[in-house]
Amino acid sequence: MGYPNTQLYINGEWQDGERDIAVVDPANEAEIGRLALAGRSHLEEAVQAAARGFATWRRTSAFERSKVMRRAADLLRERAETVAANMTREQGKPLAEARIETLGAADTIDWFAEEARRTYGRVVPSRNEQVRQLVVREPIGPVAAFTPWNFPINQAVRKVSAALAAGCSVVLKGPEETPASCAALVQVFADAGLPAGVLNLVFGVPADVSGFLIAHPLIRKISFTGSTQVGKQLAALAGQHMKRVTMELGGHAPAIVFADADIGLAAKLLAAAKFRNAGQVCVSPTRFLVEAPALAEFTERFAEAARAVKVGNGLQDGVKMGPLANVRRVEAMERLVADAKEAGARVVTGGERIGGGGYFFAPTVLTDVPQSARVMNEEPFGPLAPISGFSSYDEVVAEANRLPYGLAAYAYTTSTRTAAAIGADVESGMISINQQGLGMPETPFGGIKDSGYGSEGGSEAMEGYLVSKFISEGR
Ligand code: NAD
């Protein structure tokens, strides 16, 4: 099956937009399809549909909501092969990663479908025998959700599943560069029997769409995944309109390797994590901080793993890293590597664009990178791994916590004492020790500091879509 064109989905109907734009395959820069962009009238229609959808969905029992969601999850599993192939074509990631993302999304829907049935309230003992005091959880209302291109389904499914489970309706602004995956997700909900208007999908000029939706009085909640810079703008706008916000923003994860760690294991797992999705992952390990006695061995093993990564078109067998998703990322990698080299860094492997066409960049390892180099301070969002040494626990904790980011962190050590200490001392929303284990549907996912607030996983994710109402009832 060919790659599909993508329309807007408003009030249960797929429809054309105001104009359309090209969707490009990042592996060869060829146009593979067209995408409809919404004008203001489409956005207004989508919000009105979401308001009507909310009126229906909030009164649909949690059991019924759960059933619709589980049907959607099953449909996504049935369609996983086609959905994954289209994701690879529009985003570039290897087919195996696209499959994992699609099947993982079905798990996420299932998990939140179950959670829908557990939005318990409570009874608070009253001071007066004649009074009953209840705390009930109600859906907050229509949600505007903004999702990026790095995980075209995963980023959307986390928001959509938690919102639908809570009883909210959604206007989802999907990623313009990778729209078909998002549309396939919306289609499974439609085919599972989600009432019209409960989930709407729009695309457009991002700033115009967010400006319209965030300010709209019928929208009650904003959820955004993307860069810290844009997140701050949207949070400020949401503040002006007193809208609740979940912000899942950038990171610059420290990956700390103590000398007592299993260095081979650390290098293998961290390299796999670094080059997954070509490093375009908000929780990607970024600053590799290795205790001095293990620095040479770790660097050698990590560089070996980087050289072994087969880069190519994600549809081809055996490819472990595809192209970057767009030309902006390639240019950003070139700028960061040039800046690091100028500051005195050494390129151990990679460091340049590869391939005759498409947005390919070599898996790159840098050493001797001064702390002032941009790559040590800005989220690279690509396949760059700067490795530095450290000589004391306090020094590495200070370095790990130096940046305003606080999303993910990783540590490797065989000392249970060090593991416990590092778990406590690193300022991050998530830390994974001696393994790579973040991002399950059932566990919290989110950051602190400039990495945002709110959670996109676990029962915590439901909180963002619920309000507590206190009912005091005299007999
Ligand atoms: P960008 O900051 O312009 O866009 C990031 C995402 O935000 C895109 O999906 C885009 O459509 C959206 N966006 C941008 N401006 C918006 C606005 N005013 N209103 C609503 N949505 C808006 O840049 P980019 O080149 O697409 O990505 C660059 C950086 O974004 C990366 O370096 C990375 O730091 C960050 N990013 C983070 C994630 C994540 O998972 N947290 C995902 C994608 C990009």
Residue nearest to atom 35 of ligand 1 (CA): 227
Predicted pLDDT of residue 420:
98
Residue nearest to atom 37 of ligand 1 (CA): 226
Q: Answer yes or no: is the C-beta of 251 below 6 A from any ligand 1 atom.
A: no
Rounded average pLDDT over 424-448: 97
pLDDT given at position 398:
98
pLDDT in tens, 252-308: 999 999 999 999 999 999 999 999 999 999 999 999 999 999 999 999 999 999 999
Percentage of the chain lying above the pLDDT 70 cut: 100
446 lines ligand 1 (CB under 6 A): no
Tokens of 72: 């959607």
pLDDT of residue 201: 99
**CA distances (Å), 61 to each of 90, 166, 344, 360, 411, in order?**
37, 11, 62, 48, 44
Ligand 1 neighbour 187 (Cβ under 6 A):
no
C-alpha 378 – ligand 1 centre gap (Å): 14
Which neighbouring-strand residues pair with 467? 138
Mean pLDDT, to the nearest integer, of 445-450?
Answer: 98
Cβ neighbours around 424 below 10 Å, total: 9
Mean pLDDT of 325-344: 98
To the nearest 5 percent, what fractions of the chain are helix, strand and coil? Answer: 40, 25, 35
Under 8 Å between Cβ of 206 and 146? yes
Q: Which atom of ligand 1 is nearest to the CA of 249?
A: 41
Tokens of 279: 């490093």
Tell me 233's DSSP state.
H
Please give the Cα distance from 173 to 72 (Å, whole number).
20
CA of 282 to the centre of ligand 1 (A): 11
* CA gap 441, 109 in Å, rounded: 9
Whole-model pTM: value is 0.97
Buried b / exposed e along 251-282 (16+ C-beta atoms within 10 A): bbbbbbbbbebebeebbebbbebbbbbbbbbb
Instruction: Give the pLDDT confidence score for residue 472 in this predicted structure.
Output: 97
Average pLDDT over residues 130-146: 98
Confidence of residue 356 (pLDDT cuts 50, 70, 90): confident
In the predicted model, what is the mean pLDDT of residues 43-62? 98
Q: Closest ligand 1 atom to the C-alpha of 225?
A: 41
Q: Which residues are catalytic?
A: 248, 282
Query: Mean pLDDT over all residues of the chain?
Result: 98
Residue 368 CA to ligand 1 centre (angstroms)? 30
Distance 108 CA to ligand 1 centre (A): 23
**Domains of the chain, first to last:** 8-249+451-474 (3.40.605.10), 253-441 (3.40.309.10)
| ipTM given for this complex | 0.96
Q: Residues 378-405: pLDDT tens digits? A: 999 999 999 999 999 999 999 999 999 9
Tens of pLDDT, residue by residue over 97-121, are 999 999 999 999 999 999 999 999 9
- Is 439 touching ligand 1 by the criterion CB < 6 Å? no
Q: Is 361 in the pocket of ligand 1 (CB under 6 A)?
A: no
Residue nearest to atom 42 of ligand 1 (CA): 226
Dig out the tokens for 2 from the structure.
């060919």
Average pLDDT rounded to a whole number, residues 76-100: 98
User: Which residue lies with its CA nearest to atom 38 of ligand 1?
Assistant: 226
What residue owns the CA closest to ligand 1's atom 22? 206
Is pLDDT of 1 > 80?
A: no
Nearest to 165 by CA among 183, 139, 190, 184: 139
pLDDT at 143 over 80: yes
pLDDT > 90 in the chain, percent: 99
Instruction: Give me the phi and psi of 433, to 5 degrees please.
Output: -115, 125
- Atom 34 in ligand 1: which residue has the minimum CA distance? 227
Ligand 1, residues 230, 328, 445: which to mutate, most atoms within 8 A of Cβ?
Answer: 230
